[in-house]
Amino acid sequence: MQILVTGGCGFIGSNFVRHLLASNPDDQVVNLDLLTYAGNLESLSDVEADFASRYRFVRGDVRDEKLCLGLLEQAQAVVHFAAESHVDRSIGGGAEFLQTNVLGTHNLLECARRAWDGETGNSFVYVSTDEVYGALELDDPELFREDRPLAPRNPYSASKAAADHLSQAYFHTFGLPVKITRCSNTYGPYQFPEKLVPLMIANIVAGEPLPVYGDGLYVRDWLQVSDNCRATEAVLRQGRAGEAYNVGGNAERPNLEVVRLLVELVCERLGLELEERLSLITHIADRPGHDRRYATDAGKLQRELGIAPAIDFEEGMAGTVDWYLDHQDWCQRVTSGAYRDYYQKMYGQRLEQAGTGGVQET
């Protein structure tokens, strides 16, 4: 079938496009991406070469009604990744998040409803996040399950929750075959270096400060991107319309532990002095409203679709470090210019306040 992937030049989207084409020789993929700062055509240069007859890129906005309607009239399925996705950016200014994440999703849902008009066999996958559930305490025995009420606590997660609700509403009101994935913290190749893992790897290599919010004990469930892609495809092809599926990695780790592991892995591979690089860990002023813990129960996905993580945390992080070290030229290209200005604005003042005189335990 022909599958429309939105945001296919972003981190998870580009990995998913590559996964779909490599695994399904009869499928065609159309990639709709606006190419904002985190979208990069270079991430799919191999796909354009290897799958030229089955892959097409369209530059455009998910808010463009005419464009989306035309693309969906030709597609049997859509997997909707396109989103503004960085919490820090949403705190600094949430308007773009509402425009893309809420209004863009609404436009895509409405265009799918009109284009498919009661056809059978279609599938609309909305890619949400575990952040829509809110937060857990460190000692809370509960995990996020799909029937938990959504209670987002920052502008980014609020915009994703709004689109999550809209997607469910289009299923219940119009019968649109919407399926939702709510995935945990995903890491791996081609992630834009504003996120923790690639940012830390780049700074370890460069000998720059490693900024860690607050006490560094904020816990996330870490999911390798290829496991996320397998799960998303399973929901696309086998998931039940109207249902949400958590996608987790079964790998809860505090941020500080993740950073220390990355330091060890990079130092081991490059022959750097471990204690010197560990001393670059700098605890900076905390993010406003920082959620203490996310922990996902992905049992429904395994019971219904037979999907569980195949890559454990240590193996996944080691492979990710190797990829970034082998692709330092890619990292330098995508972080040149405007991104460096953003980095200095976001972290510069906090780094100056914290200083870099060693690990500041709290």
Is 131 catalytic? The answer is: yes
Q: Which of 6, 15, 86 is nearest to 47 (CA)?
A: 15
Residues whose CB falls within 8 Å of the CB of residue 85, separated by 6 or more in sequence, listed in order: 10, 38, 156
Q: Which of 135, 236, 124 is nearest to 169 (CA)?
A: 124
Contacts for 145-153 with beta carbons within 8 Å, 24 or more apart? 145/246, 145/297, 145/300, 146/182, 146/243, 146/244, 146/245, 146/246, 146/300, 153/289, 153/291
Secondary structure of the chain: what % helix, strand, coil (to 5)?
A: 50, 15, 35
Alpha helix positions (H), 175-242: 196-206, 225-238
Q: Which of 254, 282, 285 is nearest to 360 (CA)?
A: 282
Q: Which of 55, 126, 133, 156 is catalytic?
A: 156
End-to-end CA distance of the chain: 54
Q: Which of 33, 61, 110, 130 is catalytic?
A: 130
Q: Which of 61, 110, 131, 233 is catalytic?
A: 131
Is 139 catalytic? The answer is: no
Identify whether the C-beta of residue 35 lies closer than 8 Å to the C-beta of residue 248. Answer: no
Is 347 catalytic? The answer is: no
> Per residue, what are the HEC states of 276-345?
HHHCCEEEECCCCCCCCECCECCHHHHHHHCCCCCCCHHHHHHHHHHHHHHCHHHHHHHCCCHHHHHHHH
Identify whether the C-beta of residue 186 lies closer than 8 Å to the C-beta of residue 232. Answer: no
Residue 163's alpha-carbon distances to 75, 98, 183, 275, in angstroms, are 21, 9, 15, 45
Residues whose CB falls within 8 Å of the CB of residue 259, separated by 6 or more in sequence, listed in order: 196, 200, 210, 212, 216, 281
Rounded to an integer, what distance in angstroms lies between the CA atom of residue 73 and that of residue 100? 21
Which residues are tagged catalytic?
130-131, 156
